[in-house]
Chains A and B, each alone.
Chain A
């Protein structure tokens, strides 16, 4: 043993020097700093599939917003040309020349289907994001209050029971007839009662967490309700809210498609309107592209949004951060 110490070539003092003891230093935790959102993204990007899908989503959104501003799209430009209507991709390219506009053929009034679907995607994505933002904000805020206060709960349950039984289609069609069926009317119609479902969902979640033991303890220690809401409950809700957002945003695109199909959509040529307008083309040989391309693009957008949202929701659950 002593030989080994001698081998180190150190003096006796150096080997056993007392270390300064600092009280402040001992309080510090040596574990790496934990940042919630950094961990969320670390977990999210750990899965390579997520990177691919997020890339696809970003590409689609950027394309939907940038492409229509770069090309001039006039759906009625070829209206008077009888040879330009309902062309298959190959026929359209033979007729108009080889460029990107015609790779999906031409529609009922000779418009390039490719331009039409991206224009439609832009409208549909905007609608979904705006409605999602409004409904989620109002829904989460109202839901939090709803879950916390027993008086508000009794009142809001009545409202929910009544409003929930008024058919949404009726409200939307009444509003669409009251005002003209523009983009903003549609936003109004989808948000005027849309928030209540989200608020109800949040209310249930708040009630589940509200009465947990740690909140009871916190209340006994004298924490204010606002602080309990912000510090104890909100962090728990983040993953729930993100997961909900993931189902909500695509659902507006789907719902818009549905409304357009039953003839209650908006006047703008959104994806839903394109599908509605091209329904007859589905069964006509050679015209299928007109119908299936907006259907396909709507499906791809909604699936990508949903997958990204779900995985982000999973990643925002702190239990996965280990």
Chain B
């Protein structure tokens, strides 16, 4: 079994994903860990405006730039139901 892995920037709005790895620098990994983004956590992309993402991690919402989000590798979990 190998679930597809993609950068967080490609997950798309509404996607709930699990973080599997960080491909960027140690500095980026460190900062992401501080923000609670560590491999294994699940997160939801709430907004994607083309240059940054609004991400929900637990009860926290974080704004993440595309640059940083690109180094976050995730695997899709489910898609939340589209708004009626």
Q: Do A and B come from one complex?
A: no
